[in-house]
Amino acid sequence: MDNLSDTLKKLKITAVDRTEDSLEGCLDCLLQALAQNNMETSEKIQGSGILQLFASLLIPQSFCTAKVANIIAEVAKNEFMRIPCVDAGLISPLVQLLNSKDQEVLLQTGRALGNICYDSHEGRSAVDQAGGAQIVIDHLRSLCSRTDPANEKLLTVFCGMLMNYSNENDSLQAQLINMGVIPTLVKLLGIHCQNAALTEMCLVAFGNLAELESSKEQFASTNIAEELVKLFKKQIEHDKREMIFEVLAPLAENDAIKLQLVEAGLVECLLEIVQEKVDSDKEDDIAELKTASDLMVLLLLGDESMQKLFEGGKGNVFQRVLSWIPSNNHQLQLAGALAIANFARNDGNCIHMVDNGIVEKLMDLLDRHVEDGNVTVQHAALSALRNLAIPVVNKAKMLSAGVTEAVLKFLKSEMPPVQFKLLGTLRMLIDAQAEAAEQLGKNVKLVERLVEWCEAKDHAGVMGESNRLLSALIRHSKSKDVIKTIVQSGGIKHLVTMATSEHVIMQNEALVALALIAALELGTAEKDLESAKLVQILHRLLADERSAPEIKYNSMVLICALIGSESLHKEVQDLAFLDVVSKLRSHENKSVAQQASLTEQRLTVES
C-alpha cells in the first residue's frame, strides 16, 4: 500500500506532463492494486484527489484511455465511489468516448458507465444529461449482426449498461422504449441465442421493460414470442427456464402477445413441463409446475387465445386441462378449475362443457375440499360453476345435477373469497328459475347466513352479493313463504339499505324486491319497513335529480303498494309526496311521467 501511495503521487505529476512510459506504469500499478484489494485501493484513490485528473486523461486516441476507463470501472464497483466519479466530472468525457472506434475503449467505457449507474440516481442522471443511452442503443443496432466473440462481449456490456441505467426507474425505461430499444434487443436475442451471457442480459432487460405498460405494444410488434419459445425449448436448467418465465409472465398480460405465444407453441411446452414435474417432490420442480400451470391459465384470459385453445371443446389442450381437475395435485386442481372458468367466458363454450359432464367433475373436486379444504381450489371451482351457470339453458341442467346442494356445503366457510363466489354461483343459478329460488328462499340456514353476511362491512364484495342474492330469492320466486322467511331472519332492513346503493343495478333490484314484499306480504313486513325508514328513503330518491329514471319509476310503484298499510300511508302523507310526484309528470322519460300521473291519482284518492 505504501507503494500505492507513491504511485498516486507519481501519477499526479505524470498526468500533467503526459510521459507515456511512466504514466502507463502508474496505471498498470493501480489496476494491479485494485485486483488485489479493490475497496482499500478505491478509498486511497478517492483520498488522493486523483479522480479529477482522470477526466483530463479520458481523451480519444490517447494510448492510456482504455486503462483509465478500466480503472474507473473497477473503482465504481464500490457504492461509495459512484457519486465521487460523477462529482469529478467523469461522465461527460466517458460518454464522449462512446463515439470511439476502438473496441477496447468502448468495452471499458461501457463497463465504467454501467458500474457508475448501478443503483445510483446521480450516476443515471448524469448519463441521461450527457445523452449516453442513445449512443449505446445506436451501437447495439449497428453491431447487432456481428457474432465474433469480442463483439458479443461488447454487446453484453452495453446491454448491462442500459440495464443498470434504467433498472426500476420508470421514466428512464420509458425513455429507452421511446428510443426503440425493444426491437433491437429482440433482434439481438434471435441472432445471439447461442451466447449464454448475452442471452441472459437480454432476458433481464426484457424482464425490466416488460413491467411497463407502454412496452407491451412495442413487444407485440416484434417476434419476441417466437424467440422466447424457441429459447425456452432449448433450456434444460431450471434457473434458465425460470428467467424466461419471468419475462413471459408480464408479457402474457397483453392479449396480442398471448395469442402470439399460443401460436408459437408455448402451450405445448407448458403441458410437457406439467407432465414431467407432476409427481416430483423436489422444490424446484414444484415451483416450475406452479409457474407453468399459472402461465397456462393466464394465456386463457385472452379471448382469442382462449378460443383458439378450446377448439370447439375437442382441442388437445382443453382435454389435457380437463384431466388436471381429478388429479391429486392441488396446484393442478387449482389451475384446471381456473382454466375451466376462463374457457367458460362465452355461452357456446359453457353450453358445450355442461353437456359434456364438466359440472360433475367440478362437483367431485369441491367434494374433496369440503372439510379443511384448499381455499384457492374451492374459490376456483366455484368461479367455474358460476360462469357455467350464466347461459339460460345451463341453469336447469346444473340445478338437476345437484349444484345447489354441492355449493351449500360451503355455507359455513369463513373465507370471504369463497363466500363471494358461493353467493355469485347461487344467484346465477336461480335467475328466472322460480322453483329453485323458492326452495333456496325457504332454506332458513341460508337466509340467516345471508343476513349475517349483509353486515360484512370489511368485505364489500360479500356484502353486495349477499344483498343481491336476498333480493333475487324474492324476485325470482315471487313466493310469500320466501318473503316470510326473509322477514323472520331480519333481512328487510338490508334490502332497504340496498335501495340506497351507489350502483343503480343494485338499487333497482332492491326496489323490485321491496315492491313484491309490499304486494304479497305487506302486513308481515310492515314493522320492519317502518323501522328501516323506507318511506323517507323513497322520498329522497324521488326528490334527488341524480336518481336514474328506473329508480324513480320503481320508487313510485313501491309507494303505491305501501299505502295499503295504515302506518306507512300516514308516513307518506306526512312527507308531502304529492309535491315531489307531481313534478315528475313532466319528466323527459315517458314511463316515469306516466307512473307519476298514476301515483298522483292513487295518492289523491287515498288521501
- C-alpha separations of 343 from 177, 291, 331, 338 in Å: 34, 19, 18, 9
- Predicted pLDDT at 59: 86
- Predicted pLDDT at 5: 78
Average pLDDT over residues 177-199: 93
Q: Would you place residue 223 in the very low, low, confident or very high pLDDT band (cuts 50, 70, 90)?
A: very high
Min mean pLDDT across 16-25, 176-185, 388-397, 416-425 is at: 16-25
pLDDT in tens, 290-334: 999 999 999 999 999 999 999 888 888 899 999 999 999 999 999
Q: Can you list the domains of the chain with their CATH numbers?
A: 1-130 (1.25.10.10), 303-432 (1.25.10.10), 445-532 (no CATH)
pLDDT in tens, 100-132: 999 999 999 999 999 999 999 999 999 999 999
Q: At what angle do helices 170-178 and 213-220 cross, to 10 degrees?
A: 30
Q: Rg of the Cα trace of the chain?
A: 35
Q: What is the 3-state secondary structure (H, E, C) of 371-385?
A: CCCCHHHHHHHHHHH
Mean pLDDT of the chain: 92
Q: How many CA atoms lie within 13 A of 218 on its CB side?
A: 22
Average pLDDT over residues 56-71: 89
pLDDT in tens, 424-480: 999 999 999 999 999 999 999 999 999 999 998 889 999 999 999 999 999 999 999
- Predicted pLDDT at 22: 76
Terminal alpha carbon distance of the chain? 106
- Left if phi > 0, otherwise alpha if psi is -120 to 50, otherwise beta: which for 456? beta
Q: Would you place residue 402 in the very low, low, confident or very high pLDDT band (cuts 50, 70, 90)?
A: very high
DSSP calls for 304-332: HHHHHHHGGGT-HHHHHHHHHTTSS-HHH
What is this structure's pTM? 0.82
- Predicted pLDDT at 142: 94
- Left if phi > 0, otherwise alpha if psi is -120 to 50, otherwise beta: which for 329? beta
pLDDT in tens, 235-267: 878 888 899 999 999 999 999 999 999 999 999
Q: Would you place residue 17 in the very low, low, confident or very high pLDDT band (cuts 50, 70, 90)?
A: low
Number of H helices, E strands in the chain: 41, 0
pLDDT in tens, 480-493: 999 999 999 999 99
Burial tier of 74 (Cβ tally within 10 Å: 0-12, 13-18, 19+): buried
Residue 335 in this model has a pLDDT that exceeds 70: yes
Residues 6 or more apart whose CB falls under 8 angstroms from that of 221 comprise 183
The percentage of residues in the chain with a pLDDT greater than 70, rounded to a whole number, is 98
- Predicted pLDDT at 236: 79
Cell of 321: 386441462
- Predicted pLDDT at 16: 64
Residue 1 in this model has a pLDDT that exceeds 70: no
Min mean pLDDT across 207-216, 519-528, 534-543 is at: 207-216
Residue 15 in this model has a pLDDT that exceeds 70: no
- Long-range contacts at 8-13 (CB < 8 A, ≥ 24 apart): 8/44, 8/45, 8/48, 8/50, 9/48, 11/50, 11/53, 12/48, 12/50, 12/53
Average pLDDT over residues 52-61: 86
Helices (H), 49-89: 51-57, 65-75, 79-87
Q: Tell me if 304 sits within 8 A of 255, measured CB to CB.
A: yes
Q: Would you place residue 50 in the very low, low, confident or very high pLDDT band (cuts 50, 70, 90)?
A: confident
Cell of 532: 328501516
- Predicted pLDDT at 19: 61
